[in-house]
Chains A and B, each alone.
Chain A
Amino acid sequence: MHKRKVLKFSLLAGILCSSMTTLALADEVSTAKVQKLIDAADAARKQAAEVGGEWRDTGKMIKKAKGLLKKGDFVAAAKLANKAAKQGHLGYEQAMSQKELKLPSYLHYE
């Protein structure tokens, strides 16, 4: 009777433990995946900054994404990182498309 209880317990514990490790493994995979997205966003932000095209909230979004990742909110963190990356790309494009100064047509030079 007592032995059986022990057996039951260890079985249960075994199942629990193994499922916890799978969960932990899954976490690690997600963390690495989202970290990659965050790194990509930060690279895009820096690329924009180098040409003076960084937007106001991009850095804040990346910071927030890092916080969400720490808390294990992978979906929200990934979403925000992607948004920040898009801002980085757009800011860079915006600056590059204006490499040459174009004076406004409403300014009249004689």
Chain B
Amino acid sequence: MKQLFRKLTLLVMTCGFIASAQATTPEEDLAAFQNFFKKRFPNVETQDYINGAYSIDPVGRENWEAIEEFPPYEPFIDEGQAMWETPFANGKTYKDCFPDGPALAGKYPHWDKDKGMVMTLPLALNNCRKANGEKPMKYKKGPINSILSYLSYESRGQVTNVVVPSDDPKALQAYEDGKKFYYTRRGQLNFSCAHCHLQNAGMILRTEILSPALGHTTHFPVYRSKWGTVGTLHRRFTGCNKQVRAKPFKAHGEEYRNLEYFLTYMSNGLPLNGPGARK
């Protein structure tokens, strides 16, 4: 009897161990995530996911390629370049904050150990403005999209390489929080991000193909025909949350920053190709 009890305790303990061992490393997550797409769309090259839904939709792709011949985001790139070069009221420019030049999108998002938070490119731009006595830009609509268009254009070809540094447990926590966000059901309609862009990627919702999660972050900011203008990644996050009838979170607040950290990590190895054009 005693022995049976011992065996049972051992069994319970093993089960507990297995459950807690479910924690996966970022590297394991990345492999599982990218392998999922390899299995689902065996004929699609991993690198081609930077083209979003068009990587798996040949008909849509033709229209899109026609649009890309006269890119609707071009004027935004020019405007952004002017912003980059025009001095602030104090005579300094963005260059003083970012001495390595405008090809810097590949460095974001990254873990900022001093601040103890994920640093995104839009946040860094606004920090630069604030340091120079300028008003910060809004994070979803407006001028931020022009400068992001320029910086993304200059950064084309850089490879996504988000790092979760092992010397700061808070970095891993931020990544884990972003991952948790991605797989959590939200809103009245009860969808997680993964329901549409992983589980059902490539399926047709009414008339639209659900775009694959892999490559989602490479082409922002994006000119969306639906918006009639260029919009940021966090504007898109907001839209997705509203569509599932959840209250959206603050752009570049902790939730979306960590989500961007996780989601961009999942596209590690994929080249940047922003700004993009989408339906």
Q: Which of B184, B187, B255 contacts A55 (CB 8 A)?
A: B187
Residues B245 and A104 in contact, CB atoms below 8 Å apart: no
Given the contacts A56-B247, A57-B245, A107 and B185 also touching, CB distance less than 8 Å: no
Among B35, B181, B185, contact of A108 (Cβ-Cβ < 8 Å): B35
- CA–CA, A7 and B111, complex, Å: 86
Which of A90, A103, A110 contacts B31, CB < 8 Å? A110
Stretch with Cβ within 8 A of B (4 or more), from A23-31, A46-54, A73-81: A46-54
Contact, CB under 8 Å: A56 / B246: yes
Q: Which residue of B lies closest to A60 (CB)?
A: B247
Q: Hey, what's the 0/1 contact readout for A93-110 against B, CB within 8 Å counting as 1?
A: 011001001111011111
Contact A94 B28 (CB under 8 A): no
Residues 183-196 of chain B, each 1 if its beta carbon lies under 8 Å from chain A, else 0:
11111101000100
Chain B residues with CB under 8 A of A107: 32-33, 36, 198
Asked if A87 CB lies within 8 Å of chain B CBs, one says yes
Please give the distance in Å from B181's CB to the nearest CB on chain A.
Answer: 8
Out of A52, A56, A90, A106, which one reaches B199, CB within 8 Å?
Answer: A106
Q: On chain A, which size bracket covers the interface?
A: 20 to 34
Residues B185 and A54 in contact, CB atoms below 8 Å apart: no
- Asked if A49 contacts B185 (CB within 8 A), the reply is no
**B247 touching A59 by the CB < 8 A rule?**
yes
Contact of A103 among B22, B246, B255 (CB under 8 A): B22
Chain A residues contacting B185 (CB-CB under 8 Å) are: 94, 98
Given contacts A59-B247, A101-B180, A104-B194, contact A94 B32 (CB under 8 A): no
Q: Do the beta carbons of A109 and B24 come within 8 Å of each other?
A: yes
Contact B183 A103 (CB under 8 A): yes
Question: Could you say which residues of chain B place their CB within 8 Å of the CB of A106?
Answer: 36, 198-199
A104 to B188, CA, bound (A): 20
Q: How far is the CB of A44 from chain B (nearest CB, A)?
A: 13
Q: A58 at interface (Cβ–Cβ under 8 A)?
A: yes
- B33 closest partner in A (C-beta): A107
Known: A56-B247, A110-B31. A94 touches B190 (CB 8 A): yes
- Partner of B242 from A49, A56, A58, A101 at Cβ < 8 Å: A56
Closest Cβ neighbor of A90 among chain B residues: B188
The answer to whether B32 and A54 touch across the interface, beta carbons within 8 angstroms, is: no
Q: Which of chain B's residues have a CB closer than 8 A to the CB of A94?
A: 185-186, 190
Q: Does B219 contact A (CB under 8 A)?
A: no
Known A-B contacts A94-B190, A109-B32, A110-B31; the reply to A104 vs B246 at CB < 8 A is no
Question: Can you report 13 residue pairs joining A to B where beta carbons are below 8 Å apart?
Answer: A52-B186, A55-B187, A56-B247, A90-B188, A94-B186, A95-B184, A98-B184, A101-B184, A104-B194, A106-B36, A106-B198, A108-B35, A109-B31
**Residues of B with Cβ closer than 8 Å to A?**
22, 24, 28, 31-33, 35-36, 176, 179-181, 183-188, 190, 194, 198-199, 241-242, 245-249, 255
- Going nearest first, the 3 A-B pairs with the smallest beta carbon separation are A54-B247, A56-B245, A107-B32
